[in-house]
Amino acid sequence: MRRGFTSTEMPETKSIAVLLSGRGSNFESLLKASRTDALGGTVSLVIANRPGAGGLEIAQNAGIATALIDHKRYASREAFDRDLAAAIETASPDLVVLAGFMRILTPEFVARFENRLMNIHPSLLPLYPGLNTHQRALDNGDTHAGATVHYVNGELDGGPPVLQAKVPVHPDDDAASLAARVLRVEHQIYPEAVNWHLTGRLSFEDGVLHKDRQPVPLAGCLWDGDA
């Protein structure tokens, strides 16, 4: 039987914390989606590890809480990650979203946020984990490139893919033109995948990622929007 909510049992608003290092265009796409309710929640905190990261300014202009935790001030990766985790916990987010966060995270950090830590990577994973993805796709003569949203585990860009988008590689592409085409689809698939998490459509059953109770293909669900 359905019934209304009293004021003390309103469904809580879900929220995400975003970690970034640079310009923050993916963060901005998440922010835009949150304003139209397409995200399934709000952005409650943005943390950067680099002073001057463009994403910090976007957040400040939007009135979102920010923190700068400069990794250069830390003697060890562990100490940095401990402070990072403590800062995240102040916002109690439902999901931690890496959006161009250029730091390798310690196993302790990854374990602490297990199954609630997402990343976007500009390649068709499992192809090209790591850096220079677009140049590597061009060097290999690939006909398609793309981006993948995945949960983060202890392996670099190796956690379970959630959603993947493909774009064509054009004969006259260089790394910059291909990156721009891929970035456009990044801005569409990241809000979608975050929405799936926040609205409870993703689950791990016996360690296998499911969406709407169906196993997710090994490369993630294929995004069928327009490239």
Active-site residue list: 121
Please report whether residue 188 would count as binding ligand GRF according to CB under 6 A.
no
**Minimum CB distance to ligand GRF smaller for 53 or for 198:** 53
The binder of ligand GRF chosen from 33, 67, 99, 178 (CB under 6 A): 99
Is residue 161 near ligand GRF by the rule CB under 6 A? no
Instruction: Indicate the residue whose CB is closest to ligand GRF.
Output: 100
Contacts for 99 with CB less than 8 Å, ≥ 6 apart: 18, 19, 20, 24, 26, 27, 30, 55, 120, 190
Size of the site for ligand GRF (CB under 6 A): 14
Chain centroid offset of residue 60 CA: 20
- Report the residue from 26, 34, 164, 195 that binds ligand GRF according to the rule CB under 6 A: 26
122 binds ligand GRF, rule: CB under 6 A = yes
Residue 181 zone, left/alpha/beta (φ > 0; ψ -120 to 50; rest): alpha
Do residues 161 and 216 touch, judged by C-beta distance below 8 A?
yes
The answer to whether 41 contacts ligand GRF (rule: CB under 6 A) is no
Which residue of 15, 17, 18, 24 would you call a contact of ligand GRF, by CB under 6 A?
A: 24
Using alpha carbons, list the distances in angstroms from residue 150 to 66, 96, 212: 24, 12, 17
Whether residue 126 is preceded by a cis peptide bond, meaning omega within 30 degrees of 0, is yes
Contact between 186 and ligand GRF by CB under 6 A: the answer reads: yes
Determine the Cα–Cα distance for residues 48 and 53; give it in Å rounded to an integer. 7
Answer yes or no whether residue 100 interacts with ligand GRF by CB under 6 A: yes
23 in contact with ligand GRF (CB under 6 A): yes
Residue with tokens 């891929």: 182
56 binds ligand GRF (CB under 6 A): no
Residue with tokens 């039987």: 1
Q: Which stretch binds ligand GRF (CB under 6 A): 9-17, 24-32, 74-82, 191-199?
A: 24-32
What is the contact surface with ligand GRF in residues (CB under 6 A)?
20, 22-26, 99-100, 120-122, 147, 183, 186
